[in-house]
Chains A and B, each alone.
Chain A
Amino acid sequence: QKEVEQDPGPLSVPEGAIVSLNCTYSNSAFQYFMWYRQYSRKGPELLMYTYSSGNKEDGRFTAQVDKSSKYISLFIRDSQPSDSATYLCAMSEGTNAGKSTFGDGTTLTVKP
């Protein structure tokens, strides 16, 4: 079993929908939680970065971390076709925050 599990999708939604992307993990030492967005033929781009539990909001994006359930989420409000990409979650331990463990990514398509 992988340390980080992520539903690969694909996920297809109409423009304007609220999107929920999720990851579960097994390593209770993870304290840093990231979401990356990867467009086709590009490298992953850092979207959100949170430490420990709680919520963080940035524009249309909200990241949630529930350490008690070992579950993290990324919500996208008012989704746009330009949000169509693969979204990867990543996590790091507190003592080695530079080294991350990545999920396999969820492919999202937002249809006009």
Chain B
Amino acid sequence: DARVTQTPRHKVTEMGQEVTMRCQPILGHNTVFWYRQTMMQGLELLAYFRNRAPLDDSGMPKDRFSAEMPDATLATLKIQPSEPRDSAVYFCASGVWGQPQHFGDGTRLSIL
């Protein structure tokens, strides 16, 4: 089965450092979503793209987070500077517009 691939799977870094998370969507999928999951807030939508164009990033703290799709096979989520409150599991999901999303296994991020 085709899968969404996320790297790294785990990341531990110190406050203030830049963090880059990568996602390879399923081949042929034209929508990509970034989510953050915490015990307190559940699954929160941060941003999403259709055909590589950003459609909505209203869920993202704009001053420190950025999301891009340099090409159809790569989506990135960057945090600069990182803060302890950014500690969470970050999921990427991809899909065909109008169809349910398929998730990767996430990046578990810890900011010390």
Spell out A's residues near B (CB within 8 Å).
32, 34, 36, 41-46, 49, 88, 90, 97-100, 102-105
- CB contacts under 8 Å to A, within B10-58, are 31, 33, 42-43, 45, 48, 50, 56
Asked if A99 meets B98 with Cβ closer than 8 Å, knowing A43-B91, A44-B103, A45-B103, the reply is: no
Determine the distance from Cα of A49 to Cα of B33 in the docked complex, in whole angstroms.
18
- Is B91 a contact partner of A99 (Cβ separation < 8 A)? no
* Min CB–CB distance A61 → chain B (angstroms): 15
Determine the distance from Cα of A70 to Cα of B12 in the docked complex, in whole angstroms.
42
- Is B42 a contact partner of A46 (Cβ separation < 8 A)? no
- Is A102 a contact partner of B103 (Cβ separation < 8 A)? no
A–B complex contacts, Cβ < 8 Å, 28 sampled? A41-B105, A41-B108, A42-B105, A42-B106, A43-B91, A43-B93, A43-B103, A43-B104, A44-B43, A46-B100, A46-B102, A49-B100, A88-B43, A90-B100, A97-B98, A98-B31, A98-B48, A98-B95, A98-B98, A98-B99, A98-B101, A99-B48, A100-B101, A102-B42, A102-B43, A103-B42, A104-B42, A104-B43
Q: Can you name the residue of chain B whose Cβ is closest to the Cβ of A92?
A: B100
* A to B contact number (C-beta, < 8 Å): 49
Total contacting residues, chain B, CB less than 8 A: 24
Interface of B is mostly: strand
In the complex, given contacts A43-B105, A102-B42, what are 4 additional A-B residue pairs having Cβ atoms less than 8 angstroms apart? A43-B91, A43-B103, A97-B97, A97-B99
